[in-house]
Chain A
Amino acid sequence: MTRTGKVGAWGLALLLSVDILAGSGFANEGMVVVDNASSFSWWIWPLLLLVVTFVMGVAAVLGGVGGGVLFVPIISGFFPFHLDFVRGAGLLVALAGALAAGPGLLKMNLASLRLAMPVALIASSFAILGAMIGLALPTQVVQIALGVTIIGICILMLVAKKSTVPNVPKADPISSVLKIYGVYQEASTGEIIDWKIHRTWQGLILFVAIGIMAGMFGLGAGWANVPVLNLLMGAPLKISVATSKFLLSITDTSAAWIYMNQGCVIPMIVVPSLVGIMGGSFVGVRLLRVAKPGLVRWIVIGMLAFAGLKALSKGLGF
């Protein structure tokens, strides 16, 4: 097994052991923050969270997925925290990654403000709505929807294709009026690439759904942003990836306020999660220089699918 494969395998083993710890005879019913309060000292959970999110950060980078999308299903599935707190923390985890990358992506002229702004306006408005819906619905319903969404994300990860520079014969009227076009230099070839987009209104409608899902589940939304920007609207892949990351910093902020206002963002969960996942991501990037992540991607998809099924089973009460 490769070095990165071992990292993934260790991550999976760690999660299973946390699950056993949380769901075993050590747990009791009855607390608000922690579903099944453990007889362990309080500090064991933040510590475990730090370790698990660190591994998660490494796996996210090696597996090619966002930290937020791994965080919510895995932590809600394997840790005894109430889903609302996990979703609140999940948004901040996605937000932290976006904020770390945002300025660099803007400076490199890869994140397009003209593309991001109209999309962000729609997505962030509906993220607020999604957060409100998510907090209003019964937890079981959200859990079932989360499970279905996560399994959908796994399928998307398996089947979605990418197009480095999609063919856009003609910019549509909306994108022309909003002046959504640009130029960037492809660093590897030195080629100057003019880009424009089409199918703008279809894309904006999809961002309604993406915003609602991001707000409702606290997932971050890079997994959905990139295919819509790239495959549907025709933005080059590089611009799509960078703009998507930048978009998260706007969308998730809006939704995060709702969770914060409802008291769903507690430092005990958020702080170790942020430190762990950011630290893990930074280590993951270093690892990428020396390792090929092939196997880890499969392990991460498997881990996500397992977490999705777990969320479904929790929601359905099995």
Chain B
Amino acid sequence: MPLTRKVTDLLVPIGDYAVTNEDSPLSEAILALRKVYCQVEVGKCTEAGHRNILVLDSRKHLVGILDFRTILRALIPEIAGGLTQRLEAIGVSVAFAQADSLDLDESRLSFQARVIKNADTKVKHLMLKVRGLIQAQEDLLSALKLMYANNITVLPVYENGDLIGVLRESDLFLTVADIVSN
């Protein structure tokens, strides 16, 4: 039964995953994630790698996760952000317009310049908090339940108090798909 297998059988080792520091700028995290997700150095990106990057603190403890959506929301808040972020972006423009200081309004920079500027934001100001973790010896069904209970797509896996890897929703999907195919 595939789902009675242990988490340790399916996890992605931490060494294979993209990691960044919470004090690093977002630009560094983006480049690290792109490297793992898409092997652009060796040619066309044909195989999708990991879609998240783990955020560690100075003691190498896992403190957060960044995913594509969070990154895009930070880079282009006026488009990818929620209503609040969009209103804030317009509100800032209104503030500078009403002070007759239009030229100081950063949101009037070109799209590219805004993206580059927003990429300077520190990772710790954007990262998603880690919600839930699992021990390596637990079974995959427990992992699946935990993922859906916490509405997350990646689950950090610990063994003897150390982070040893990550279990992804996509791996669990493939495991469940095996049941169907068999």
Contacts and interface: CB of A to CB of B under 8 A. Distances in A.
Contact of B113 (A187, A222, A226): A187
Looking at B87, B113, B120, the one whose CB has the most chain A CB atoms below 10 A away is: B87
Contact of A238 (B87, B94, B101): B101
Interface residues of B, number: 24
Nearest to B85: A104
A245 interface: yes
Contact of A241 (B95, B108, B109, B117): B95
A183 interface: no
A187 B104 CA distance: 9
Interface string B62-96: 00000000000000000000001001111111111
B88 A60 contact: no
B111 to A, nearest CB: 12
Contacts of B117: 187
A185 B118 CA distance: 12
A187 B91 contact: no
B106 A285 contact: no
Contacts of A237: 101, 104
A108 to B, nearest CB: 7
Given A104-B88, A104-B89, A226-B99, A97 B104 contact: no
Contact of A60 (B96, B98, B102): B98
B14 interface: no
Contacts of A282: 90, 94
A97 B98 contact: yes
Contact of B94 (A61, A157, A187): A61
Contacts, number: 88
Contact of B91 (A64, A104, A157, A244): A104
A222 B100 CA distance: 11
Contacts of B84: 103
B97 interface: yes
Nearest to A57: B94
A234 interface: no
A268 interface: no
A155 interface: no
Contact of A97 (B95, B109, B113): B95
A65 to B, nearest CB: 6
Contacts of B109: 187-188
Residue of B93, B109, B113 most packed against chain A (CB within 10 A): B93
Contacts of A60: 98
A297 B98 CA distance: 11
Contact of B88 (A67, A101, A244, A284): A101
Contact of B95 (A65, A105, A107, A284): A105
A66 interface: yes
Contacts of A185: 120
B99 A241 contact: yes
A107 B101 CA distance: 19
A288 interface: yes
A62 B98 CA distance: 8
B101 A100 contact: no
A61 B88 contact: no
Contacts of B88: 100-101, 103-104, 107
Interface in A220-247: 222, 226, 237-238, 241-242, 244-245
Contacts of B95: 97-98, 101, 105, 241-242, 245
Contacts of A62: 97
A66 B98 contact: yes
A175 interface: no
Given A187-B109, A237-B104, A285 B99 contact: no
Given A104-B92, A105-B92, A108-B92, A284 B97 contact: yes
Given A100-B87, A288-B102, 8 more contacts: A64-B99, A97-B94, A98-B95, A101-B94, A104-B91, A238-B104, A244-B99, A285-B90
Interface of B: 84, 87-102, 104, 106, 108-109, 113, 117, 120
28 contacts: A62-B97, A63-B100, A64-B97, A64-B101, A66-B99, A97-B91, A97-B94, A97-B95, A98-B95, A100-B90, A101-B88, A101-B91, A103-B88, A104-B91, A105-B92, A108-B92, A187-B106, A237-B104, A241-B104, A242-B95, A244-B99, A245-B98, A245-B99, A282-B94, A284-B94, A284-B97, A289-B108, A297-B100
Nearest 4 A/B pairs, CB to CB: A64-B100, A104-B88, A100-B91, A101-B91
